[in-house]
Amino acid sequence: MIKQAVEKSINDQINAELYSAYLYLSMSSYFESKNLGGFAHWMTVQAKEEVNHAMKFYGYINERGGRVTLKAIDSPPVNWKSPLDVLENVYKHEVKVTGLINKLVNLARSEKDVATENFLMWYIDEQVEEEASADAIVQKLKLIKDSANGLFMLDHELAQRE
């Protein structure tokens, strides 16, 4: 049986993961409006990953005999200054999510909930990948600066994400 404090915190994390999906869909829409279909595709794939993360938490609570309680999802921003601004926000958001996961790990440890701590290790590894992926695109955009050719090449690269 899952402890109440852990269940509540994982329910909060489900909301955070679904907000991430909303945020990335909003970013995808922004890129579509700028005719950057590759960036939009990358964001849509990212949004789907976030929904999958939420569903893993959802399944875990149920598997441990807890109760999932869904909450309202905040509206995400809809406008950004540039593709670089978007990706810098993605990176900052992933750092924030990493902090939330770390808090969950610390809670599991304080509650002596080894099963939850073990479950969360996948998310720790995933967040390392998420931060690195977003940062790599930020660094490329910084190199590109105002080069339309560079932006379109990166757009083509991002369209290849599976």
Domain of residue 31, CATH code:
1.20.1260.10
Nearest Cα neighbor of 74 from 130, 139, 12, 153 is 12
Q: Which residues make Cβ contacts (< 8 Å) with residue 63, sequence separation at least 6? A: none
Over residues 23-81, the pLDDT tens digits come to: 999 999 999 999 999 999 999 999 999 999 999 999 999 999 999 999 999 999 999 99
Helices (H), 3-111: 4-33, 37-63, 83-110
Residue 5: what pLDDT? 98
Single-letter residue type at 32: E
| pTM score | 0.96
Domain that holds residue 74: 4-158
Name the residue among 93, 70, 78 with its Cα closest to residue 13: 70
Counting the structural domains of the chain, the total is 1
pLDDT band at 4 (very low <50, low <70, confident <90, very high): very high
CA dihedral over 151, 133, 22, 59, signed as positive or negative: positive
